[in-house]
Structure 1
């Protein structure tokens, strides 16, 4: 029997404009109906900055919890600046917002990590936060290279805080950086706490996220390399003509994959 793992639906799977127009709660309800265990709130899909105010995040978090879902808080902010410094302001604000939401995970972009991880400073910021900080491989060269992520986890260990943060392994985003996801899975699997599941179609700048085919052998091979116990997030777009059926189908399929 396959191990049980939580399936999360990322808000953007329902369509970015739909989330901005209708708000996250509607799509959290759809995620619950589809059988998901968690729901990823995307800060960039808020209709305005008022949605990021503490009282509004707390209200949304309560509503998501009342559905029986746990939440991920995703922000486009980067952990490191383009110069390789720790962006302490972005980290502090993101942690405060994630705590207000009641999120289990806080997901940031890696940004310009170079050599120093500033692990002790990160640990200090997280000292009273009951959440897991994860950084995601993005679609840009900066913040999306395999070497950066290998270097990050080596630096965290060297600085004495090996487990202070983990990784969101985005299976599809590696394509934008010309990295085979199977190549990345080997050296990074031990640090993966959350998986974004999607593939990429198209070439160059004209790439788009897509649902993996049921017989996609590479997708299955990458999943096999990654930890089975960590949550898997659906980040590819659902068919707008059959959103509810599509969501339920992929929650069940990914849970058994």
Structure 2
């Protein structure tokens, strides 16, 4: 039997309206009851901008830690602007907020990365930050292409900063870009430090995240290609009629898959 891995529940799995209405702590507690080891806080699900103030983040982080969970801080901000330039302000704010929360990871979208990583600038921001920076493949063309991610990690190495940051590999998001996740897993596996686990249903604009079906061999093959030791995040919606049972079921399944 293989060793179990850390499983994170992403706040949005409980429903975006539910998180905005009741706050993140209620769902962090539900995550703990389900057997998760981590909880992903989503900045876009704060009910009010004051929830992102340092004192509010510190209080939330302490409460999550008191449950025995570690946290991920996810922001919809992008590391690179549409013109390819580094968005240093977005990086700084995201790091500051993640540090206030006490997060293990701070997750941004990649954005409009072109050819130059500006690795030295990122390194300056990360030097005293006790948090790991990861960028996620998104659903949009900007920040969602396989070439952008391979190009980013090649640029970091070229600029003398290999390993400066890692990747959140979102298995389901590749569908929006018509990329087979198994095709992306091979060239990117070495950089993956966190996995968002979901598949999709529907097509085009009517595509939605979904739980992997039992016996989904393609999903299993992708997990096999990615590092076994990195945390796996549940980012598909739970059944609102049986949230606790659903959460516990999928935590146990992903931990052993």
Alignment TM-score, normalising by the size of structure 1: 1.00
Residue 212 in structure 1 maps to residue 250 in structure 2: no
The aligned counterpart of 1:225 is 225
How far the C-alpha of 1:3 sits from its partner, in A, is: 2.3
The aligned counterpart of 1:2 is 2
How far the C-alpha of 1:214 sits from its partner, in A, is: 1.2
Structure 1 residues 43-122: aligned runs within 5 Å = 43-122=43-122
How far the C-alpha of 1:4 sits from its partner, in A, is: 2.5
Separation in 2, partners of 1:74, 1:181: 22
The answer to whether the 8 A contact 1:3-1:228 is kept is no
Segments of structure 1 that go 5 or more residues without pairing to the other structure are: none
Q: Which whole-Å deviations, capped at 9, do the CAs of 1:106-155 have from their partners, x for residues lacking one?
A: 00000000000000110110000111100000000010000000000000
The answer to whether the 8 A contact 2:76-2:108 is kept is yes
The aligned counterpart of 1:150 is 150
Separation in 2, partners of 1:169, 1:132: 15
Separation in 2, partners of 1:123, 1:164: 7
Separation in 2, partners of 1:189, 1:168: 10
Alignment TM-score, normalising by the size of structure 2: 1.00
Moved beyond 6 Å, runs of 4+:
none
Q: Which whole-Å deviations, capped at 9, do the CAs of 1:210-252 have from their partners, x for residues lacking one?
A: 0001110000000000000000000000000000000000000
Backbone CA RMSD of aligned residues: 0.4
**Secondary structure in 1 aligned to 2:202?**
strand
Residue 168 in structure 1 maps to residue 150 in structure 2: no
How far the C-alpha of 1:76 sits from its partner, in A, is: 0.0
The aligned counterpart of 1:191 is 191
The aligned counterpart of 2:253 is 253
Separation in 2, partners of 1:3, 1:158: 35
Separation in 2, partners of 1:66, 1:255: 22
Segments of structure 2 that go 5 or more residues without pairing to the other structure are: none
Separation in 2, partners of 1:235, 1:183: 21
Q: Which whole-Å deviations, capped at 9, do the CAs of 1:57-86 have from their partners, x for residues lacking one?
A: 000000000000000000000000000000
How far the C-alpha of 1:5 sits from its partner, in A, is: 1.1
How far the C-alpha of 1:101 sits from its partner, in A, is: 0.1
